[in-house]
Amino acid sequence: MKLSDRIQAMQASPVRKLVPYATKAKKAGKKVYHLNIGQPDIQTPSVFMEAINAYDTEVIKYSFSQGEPILIDAICDYFRRDDIHFEPEDILITNGGSEAITFAAIAICNPGDELLVPEPFYTNYNGFTGEVNVNIVPITTKAEDGFHLPSEKEIEALITPKTKGILFSNPGNPTGTILRSDEMEMIARIAIKHHLFIISDEVYRGMAFDGLEAQSMASIKGIEDHLIITESVSKRYSACGARIGAICSHNKDLMKNILKLGQARLCVATLEQIGAAALYRLPDSYTKEIRDEYQARRDIVFDALQQIPGVLVQKPTGAFYMVVKLPVDDAEKFIIWMLEHFDVNGETIMLSPAEGFYATKGLGKDEARIAYVLNKDDMQKAMKILQAGLLAYNNQ
Ligand SMILES: Cc1ncc(COP(=O)(O)O)c(C=O)c1O
């Protein structure tokens, strides 16, 4: 029996595919610092469990396909703080940002259609689009430009009759880049001119450093019918396992149709929605605290990387990732070697090879993504291990 072409063409997650090497290293008694995955170590705010514990029900019923009203209202209020106005019917709760992006791709693309995506991009975009036979067309961005977008002309040259939209995360994973307002305006102009949807993945919004702000794409006027925002509690509120996200759009026709996808999977987990509503109501001071913590970690990692000969890195301004060029031919081989053959006093690190974050073959081979999701002490230790590992690897 043969499996579908679709599933066979899908790539294994580059973030997770080296996990067996880490498991083996741990079995051999090594401690592994996981800088490969965006799993923050920050405590999920206690209001999440408090809200769930206070939820009085005898039966855990199906929730509404659109989502729990208490959560939808909390998301509307979250945006209203930035003068962005969504009505409850503009929101649909999803199983994480992942399902939100998948739903958006299904809703706007036919099989074989294309989405423009700045690369390097969050590698699971390949999964969300591949599983519904949508093709990603990369807009290549470069480290030396701080992973900012190329010119309007260069982007427009990639548009074909099959292009249905532009998908990007802002702040960016894996780049940590925050789009400037002129770039956001440019995306809006292109979308209007070429009748494209904009899928603005804002799961890292609020994590912006050095006094910058990652504005929501919804702050740009005139693109209401084009814009789909995907949201999540995973990163901002350190609640990855809650699996709560949302699609937000003023396009009534789109939302009416997306509800059919919601109905087809019945609903999102009821209790986690109750907890997530409390997260969205946390004051701005919470986001500030988180942002300051990640900025401090970013500084530790960036300063340490500057000291390592042959490592090239741009200072990221948001999210909790950075892409680094390593003085090796093949970053994946180096990462595996670190797990299999290297440790400092029984400790080693795991990074993500960056190649899987590019759609263009050959790009990113000597690059890795570092997720600075561990506390400052651990990040400091991890950088020392990386420095010693690179020296040993290149002296073999
Ligand atoms: C840019 C980006 N978008 C979406 C997601 C999906 O997040 P979740 O499904 O946990 O909300 C992630 C997770 O790492 C991400 O980095």
Report CA(168)–ligand 1 centroid distance (Å): 12
CA–CA distances in Å: residue 139 to residues 120, 148, 178, 289, 332: 9, 10, 16, 34, 23
State the chain's maximal CA–CA distance in angstroms: 64
Domain with CATH 3.40.640.10 in the chain: 47-284
Mean pLDDT, residues 141-148:
91
> Which pLDDT band, with edges at 50, 70 and 90, does 144 fall under?
confident
Residue 356 DSSP code: G
C-beta 203 within 6 A of ligand 1: yes
Q: 203 CA to middle of ligand 1, Å?
A: 6
Domain span(s) for CATH 3.90.1150.10 in the chain: 5-43+285-394
Q: What is the pLDDT of residues 220-279, one digit of tens each?
A: 999 999 999 999 999 999 999 999 999 999 999 999 999 999 999 999 999 999 999 999
Class of domain 47-284: alpha beta
- Average pLDDT estimate for 388-396: 95
Ligand 1 atom having least distance to the Cα of 201 = 3
Tens of pLDDT, residues 21-59? 999 999 999 999 999 988 888 999 999 999 999 999 999
**Residue whose CB lies within 8 A of the most ligand 1 atoms, among 203, 272, 321, for a mutation test:** 203
Nearby residues of 63 by Cβ (< 8 Å), 6 or more positions away: 93, 267, 268, 269, 270, 273
* Residue of 207, 235, 238 with the most ligand 1 atoms within 8 Å of its CB, for mutation: 235
Name the CATH architecture for the domain at 5-43+285-394. Answer: Alpha-Beta Complex (3.90)
Q: Round to whole Å and give the CA distance between 269 and 117.
A: 30
- The atom number, within ligand 1, closest to the CA of 204 reads 1
Per the listing, tokens 């919804």 go with 218
Structural contact between residues 284 and 171, judged by C-beta atoms closer than 8 angstroms? no
Q: Is 259 exposed, middle or buried (0-12, 13-18, 19+ CB in 10 A)?
A: middle
